[in-house]
């Protein structure tokens, strides 16, 4: 694997020679005299590395998975976190009524799912680079592997565990709340939660690669979270956002996730009745009510059903952009050390 290849490489042999020289009383080499690492090889996995790009990616992925599987508390933590949160949300919003006041509860439930999906995967990702940067620098600059396969291996190794967490949360939450919509809504609800996980993980990794330490990464992550949530469309109506902040909703992935989730939920929701409790509260009458169908809810939220495909596309564009920028930031941090 990586260790055997490194031992047979020029860097490994140079390290052994230097260690033997030090044991015999020789003066240590200056940094400039140490074995140099080809910058092009460091980036793409060629040049001074014994293993090629794919081999590095394979062994790094294998190592990351082994580390995660050896952590006996990781699986337990994922299951407990996902199920406890799902049971909390499901019991709080249990089997919502499809009436006038139920609309607010539906919107609140979906927004809380959005926030949970964002925060759950953002915060752990903020600590990834600060916690491993010293090991990464030593192994990378020693010629064991390049930054690109390391970055790809981390994404690959995290995906199965994050997918498990999203699924364990989405299934009970969806059915306990009683979210309506057409027969495809559960698939779209799960896919939306998956995209949120991918965006939050990518943003967290980007911020952790940019920040000099873990404390600043958490502070920057909180700021990014607020800038994404405020223009999403739940805190303020999309048509009421001031013009000088309109750019925020155009770059906020929460806006695109919120639009997609609401279109999937309300487009084929059906009739929203005026229940007896609504009548007793004087909210509506059988003839006059604010919401008659899900389309009325979308109009009130200033969401057009034609925006769904564009919102999905923009989420994937944002994911790709965050991952690419995160890789560049990490490469610069490692190479400039």
Other beta carbons within 10 angstroms of residue 306's beta carbon come to 8
In this model, does residue 248 exceed pLDDT 50? Answer: yes
49-76 pLDDT, tens digit each = 677 889 999 999 999 999 999 988 988 9
| pLDDT class of 45 with cuts at 50, 70, 90 | very low
The confidence score (pLDDT) of residue 42 equals 47
The confidence score (pLDDT) of residue 134 equals 86
Other beta carbons within 10 angstroms of residue 53's beta carbon come to 17
Question: Can you read off the two tokens belonging to residue 175?
Answer: 């059915």
Concatenated DSSP letters of 18-40: HHHHHHTTPPPPPGGGSPP--HH
pTM of the predicted protein model: 0.83
In this model, does residue 141 exceed pLDDT 50? Answer: yes
Contact 59, 45 (CB under 8 A): no
Q: Which of 223, 197, 195 is nearest to 119 (CA)?
A: 197
Compute the distance between CA of residue 264 and CA of residue 314 in angstroms, rounded to an integer. 16
In this model, does residue 12 exceed pLDDT 70? Answer: no
In this model, does residue 160 exceed pLDDT 50? Answer: yes
Most confident listed range (128-132, 139-143, 323-327): 323-327
The confidence score (pLDDT) of residue 37 equals 41
The confidence score (pLDDT) of residue 326 equals 95
């Amino acid at each position: 694997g990586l260790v055997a290849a490194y031992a047979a490489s020029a860097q490994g042999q140079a390290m052994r020679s230097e260690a033997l020289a030090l044991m015999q009383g020789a003066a240590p080499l200056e940094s400039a005299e140490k074995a140099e690492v080809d910058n092009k090889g460091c980036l793409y996995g060629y040049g001074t590395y014994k293993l090629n790009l794919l081999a590095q990616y394979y062994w790094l992925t294998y190592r990351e998975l082994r580390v995660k599987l050896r952590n006996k508390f990781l699986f337990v933590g994922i299951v407990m976190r996902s199920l406890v949160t799902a049971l909390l949300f499901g019991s709080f919003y249990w089997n919502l009524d499809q009436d006038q006041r139920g609309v607010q509860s539906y919107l609140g439930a979906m927004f809380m799912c959005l926030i949970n999906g964002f925060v759950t995967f953002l915060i752990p990702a903020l600590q990834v680079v600060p916690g491993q940067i010293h090991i990464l620098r030593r192994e990378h600059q020693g010629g064991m592997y390049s930054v690109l396969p390391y970055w790809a291996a981390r994404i690959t190794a995290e995906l199965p565990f994050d997918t498990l967490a999203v699924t364990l949360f989405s299934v009970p939450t969806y059915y306990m709340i009683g979210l309506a919509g057409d027969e495809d809504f559960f698939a779209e609800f799960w896919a939306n939660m998956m995209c949120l996980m991918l965006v939050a993980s990518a943003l967290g990794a980007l911020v952790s690669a940019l920040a000099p330490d873990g404390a600043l990464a958490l502070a920057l992550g909180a700021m990014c979270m607020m800038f994404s949530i405020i223009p999403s469309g739940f805190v303020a109506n999309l048509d009421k956002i001031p013009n000088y902040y309109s750019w925020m909703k155009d770059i906020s992935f929460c806006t695109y996730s919120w639009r997609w989730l609401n279109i999937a939920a309300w487009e084929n929701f059906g009739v929203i009745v005026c229940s007896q409790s609504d009548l007793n509260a004087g909210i509506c009458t059988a003839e006059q009510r604010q919401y008659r169908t899900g389309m009325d809810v979308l109009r009130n939220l200033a969401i057009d059903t034609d925006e769904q495909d564009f919102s999905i596309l923009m989420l994937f564009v944002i994911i790709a952009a965050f991952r690419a920028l995160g890789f560049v930031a990490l490469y610069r941090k490692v190479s400039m050390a």
